[in-house]
Every structure is written in structure tokens, then in C-alpha cells.
Amino acid sequence: MSIPDYIANAAKDECNNLLSEQNGILAVVIASIDGFDVASSVSKMLDPSRIAAMASSIAAIGSVVTQEVSLGSSKSVTVNTEDGFVYITYLELAGVNYVLNVVADKTAILAQVIYRCGEIGKRLKNN
């Protein structure tokens, strides 16, 4: 499934901006729900394609858990670690759901990342 170039470029810009503007962000990856990266910005030696596949698995498992316990649609999954966190949420590109995945070290602030991801989702949906 392809998305228009201008939307893919806007998604790439959003990934770059979040990585460069927010402290502690190691990777920002937008992936199709079946695990292909469509836009990304990473620091260090992180592989966006691996992150994309893992994000789609985690998002899908999160969804099936919330369905099982009748808590409605999953909106996000956060994995907190000793040295940081991974935040996974959904966004829409050209009317199709994608997964937005942020990997951050402990200098990043989760609440700020959640807020920024929400803003990115709004902007890309209206693109």
C-alpha cells in the first residue's frame, strides 16, 4: 500500500522534528500496522525496519488484550524500562491506520512525548 509522496514527506519531517527537538529521543518510526516502516528518524545504530515490525506486534497484542477484557480500542502502549521507554500509538495517514513508535532514553519525559505524538497525529491526519 503506497501513500502519496507529500504525506510520506510530511511524516518523515515529523519524525525528524521530534527526534531533533525533544531530549532523549533515540528513534521515531511510523509503520504500517503489518510492520513495514514508512517514515523514520533514528539515532544510534537502531534499525527502523526491526522497530517497525516490533511496534506492529506490540500494538496488535495491546489491541487483542483490550478486546479480551472489553476495554474498547487500544490507543497506546508504553513499555517502561530501567533506561528509558518505548511509546507506541496509532495515527492516520490518508485515511489508513499506522503505528507511531518512539524509543527514548531516561532523559526524555514521557508526558511530553505523548503530547507531541498526539499533535503529530492531528497534523498528519489533516494533511
Partner 1 sequence: MREYKLVFTGTTGAGKTTAIAAISEAAPIRTDVANTDTTIDKASTTVGLDFGQISLANGDRLRLFGTPGQVRFDFMWKILVRDAFGIIILIDNSRPDPLADLNLYINGFEQELLTTPCVIGVGRTEAHSHPSLDDFSIALEKQNLILPIIPVDVRNADDVNMLIGILMAQTEAEMI
* From 9, 20, 23, 49, residue interacting with partner 1 (rule: CB under 8 A): 49
Rule CB under 8 A: say whether 81 interacts with partner 1. Answer: no
Rule CB under 8 A: say whether 57 interacts with partner 1. Answer: yes
CB 34 → partner 1: shortest distance, Å? 5
Nearer to partner 1, 41 or 56 (CB): 56
CB 113 → partner 1: shortest distance, Å? 23
Compute the distance between CA of residue 9 and CA of residue 5 in angstroms, rounded to an integer: 6
How far is the CA of 5 from the CAs of 39, 60, 114, in angstroms? 11, 27, 26
Compute the distance between CA of residue 54 and CA of residue 109 in angstroms, rounded to an integer: 22
x/- map, 97-116, partner 1, by CB under 8 A: --------------------
103: which residues sit within 8 A by CB, 6+ positions away? Answer: 25, 26, 27, 28, 29, 46, 51, 84, 86
Rule CB under 8 A: say whether 5 interacts with partner 1. Answer: no
Considering only residues 15 to 44 of the shown chain, the ones binding partner 1 according to CB under 8 A are 32-36
How far is the CA of 60 from the CAs of 18, 88, 99, in angstroms? 24, 11, 10
Residues that bind partner 1 (CB under 8 A): 1, 32-36, 49-50, 52-54, 56-58, 60-61, 63-64, 68
